[in-house]
Structure 1
Amino acid sequence: MTRSFTFLVNPASGDGAAPQAVLPVARLLRGAGARVDVASSSGPQAVAALVARAVERGDVVVAVGGDGTLSHLVGAVCSGGGVVGVLPAGRGNDFARMLGLPTEPEEVAELLLHGAERCVDLLSWQAPGAPERLVAGSVYSGVDARAAALVDRMRWTPKPLQYPLGAVRALATYQPGRFRVVVDGVVAEYAAATVVVANSGYYGQGMHIAPSARVDDGLLDVVVVEAASRLELIRRFPRIYGGSHVELPEVTVLTGRRVEIAADARASVPVGADGEALGSLPGLGGPAAVVELRPGALRVVG
């Protein structure tokens, strides 16, 4: 039986490259006899309605964009019992990198038509007083959330330079925070630059932040980078691409299934997930934010 597809395109992904990326893939799928619908992901409510109709028809819902585009879809796909495909067309494409998914149109079409389904884990993010949000890759707080915000404002910087430049700028002005991190009930406190709760090993356009992470191992990897001088953090920053930063004494890696996180600093501590801002972490004086694992929650072609 030939699969059918609904492509949800984020027109802003890849600095506007996503709408063009879908054309050759859709053409190849239609040439193979598949039914293909293409729609623009114009907002959370519209996306939820589009996904619901696509899942009801039995379509594979294909995220055309980057990590943020995928994360906006996964909740609606999971609640409907649907299947996701990925056409990487964003800035980072780190979840696709983690899954080893292709980017060339012919290879993408072949995978979507004939690739096997697999089940991967997701993260659930719950801040006090806010609705739950499912996340594919990672939730990060501190200096890397600041870097992601800087990258989001870059329009004329060449794409390969955006994340490195954003990270260095964020490191050059960062202020450490006092973080409380509770992993499966075990409490620890850190003076830290950043805390990352990872499902996928990659973020920030190929930075291997959590080299031991696997998307189907039923575990969260928690990476804590403790405070150091700005110069020292910038000097050691390149190690993150190969994952050797985890060997540094100021880096702690924990694993578990439920993480509570809160922080105090001179200013509020920003938090983000898969390239999208989530606001600020709650302070140490009140209820913490919670990240929990949803094992095998997402069915994905690939």
Structure 2
Amino acid sequence: MRTLIIHNPKSGFGSDAIFEFERSLVHQGDTCTFHEIADGETPEELVRNAEDYDVCVLSGGDGTVTGLLHALRYRDVAACVFPSGTANLFCANVGNAMEPAALARACRVGHTALTDIAEVHWHDAEGTEHSRGFGLMCGMGFDAQLMSSAIPNKKSMGEIAYFAAALENPRPVVSHFTIFADGVVHECDGITCMVANNAMMQGDIEIVPDCRMDDGLLDVIVLETSDAVHVLKPIFAGILDRSGKSIGRPQIQTFTGKDIRVVSSEPIPLQVDGDVIEGTVTSYETSIYPAANRMIVDSMSRYHAEDSEAPRFSGTDEIAYPEA
């Protein structure tokens, strides 16, 4: 089995779990290339030789792994996401068991699912166009402000840093959003407008129901409130109704589409998978790449096909890849 591990050593709390994973993964006769991401390296550069391997393991925070998945779209190689970040929400949305040994087994078994990846475009204040991939959400407004405020405390406080940041800004700015979803125009007022490929947050709470990364669609989420305390309402609703199908989500309006354009009434911050973009923007555009990645999944994942063949790893060393 041939494996490429791409690891961001600056993500999360600096855990050594990726090395425990590597020890569990590599058997006699295997080959494994371990690459630590250096400053300035682009996702495209990091995966340029991806087809030389059976599996590419992407280790880092949400922004790192989804950027690499975007670079791997429609490439002929299986990808495994390893949780090395702070929140690891993308890994939680995939739903695999997160223990290093369990993920190593999933790689050797080799069951995969085809998943979507998204792309966002925006212009900075000087008019220069930028683009990047995302797997979770991008959004403008209050969510980007929260991400920016949480950055100094993420290393020490972890996920709690986001809640602390929310309490620091109790009266966020309400903006008017004009949303174009596959040609249909929606006018909304709110403190944030997000576009999601995955919409499950901490505690397995789905912000909107049935938001999956294998349906070829994006979900637009507008938080319609002027009070940060009201942000807690959909969270409390999610505790009682994790899927969002029974009592819904108060203060939230949603739409779906393949191509989304969001225009704000004023320049506001933008975040992409938790990474805050420098400066402010007045609009952004998103699109979806359906079935773009061949993702490693185990039987815990909601993307594991119910009618797939029996798992090849069941107390044995049988693997999905031929020995070299």
- Tell me, yes or no, whether TM beats 0.5: yes
Counterpart in 1 of 2:93? Answer: 98
Q: For residue 145 of structure 1, what is the amino acid of its counterpart?
A: A
Deviation per CA, 1:99-146: give whole Å up to 9, x if none: 111211210110011131211011110114424312111112211111
Within a 5 Å distance, the mapping from 1:128-277 to structure 2 comes to 128=123, 129-155=128-154, 157-170=156-169, 172-203=170-201, 208-234=206-232, 237-240=235-238, 242=242, 244=244, 247-248=248-249, 250-265=251-266, 268-277=267-276
- SS of 1:45's equivalent in the other structure is coil
Identity rate of aligned residues, in percent?
24
Distance 1:291 1:138 in 2: 10
- The answer to whether the 8 Å contact 2:119/2:134 transfers is yes
Q: For residue 10 of structure 1, what is the amino acid of its counterpart?
A: N
Deviation per CA, 1:180-230: give whole Å up to 9, x if none: 111111112212111111111224685532332011011111111113334
- SS of 2:12's equivalent in the other structure is helix
Q: In structure 2, which of residues 32, 40, 44 is the aligned counterpart of residue 48 of structure 1?
A: 44
Q: In structure 1, which of residues 44, 58, 62 is the aligned counterpart of residue 57 of structure 2?
A: 62
Distance 2:222 2:109 in 1: 40
87-96 or 228-237, which deviates more: 228-237
Q: In structure 2, which of residues 8, 20, 24 is the aligned counterpart of residue 24 of structure 1?
A: 20
Distance 2:256 2:134 in 1: 17
The 1:59/1:131 distance shift into structure 2, 3 A limit, reads farther
- The answer to whether the 8 Å contact 1:262/1:281 transfers is no
Counterpart in 2 of 1:39? Answer: 35
The 1:281/1:214 distance shift into structure 2, 3 A limit, reads farther
Counterpart in 1 of 2:5? Answer: 7
- SS of 1:153's equivalent in the other structure is helix
Distance 1:155 1:148 in 2: 10
111-120 or 249-258, which deviates more: 249-258
Distance 1:136 1:206 in 2: 17
Q: What TM-score do the two structures reach when normalised by structure 1?
A: 0.86
1:248 shift after superposition: 4.5
Q: For residue 133 of structure 1, what is the amino acid of its counterpart?
A: R
- The answer to whether the 8 Å contact 1:271/1:278 transfers is yes
Distance 2:243 2:165 in 1: 19
- The answer to whether the 8 Å contact 1:92/1:205 transfers is no
Distance 1:280 1:224 in 2: 21
Distance 1:134 1:65 in 2: 15
Counterpart in 2 of 1:76? Answer: 71
Deviation per CA, 1:21-40: give whole Å up to 9, x if none: 11111111223543211111
Structure number with higher helix proportion: 1
- SS of 1:247's equivalent in the other structure is coil
- The answer to whether the 8 Å contact 1:52/1:80 transfers is no
For structure 1, the 5+ residue unaligned runs are none
The 1:179/1:156 distance shift into structure 2, 3 A limit, reads same
- The answer to whether the 8 Å contact 1:29/1:36 transfers is no
The 1:133/1:175 distance shift into structure 2, 3 A limit, reads same
Distance 2:222 2:257 in 1: 14
Q: CA RMSD in A?
A: 2.5
228-237 or 274-283, which deviates more: 228-237
Counterpart in 1 of 2:289? Answer: 294
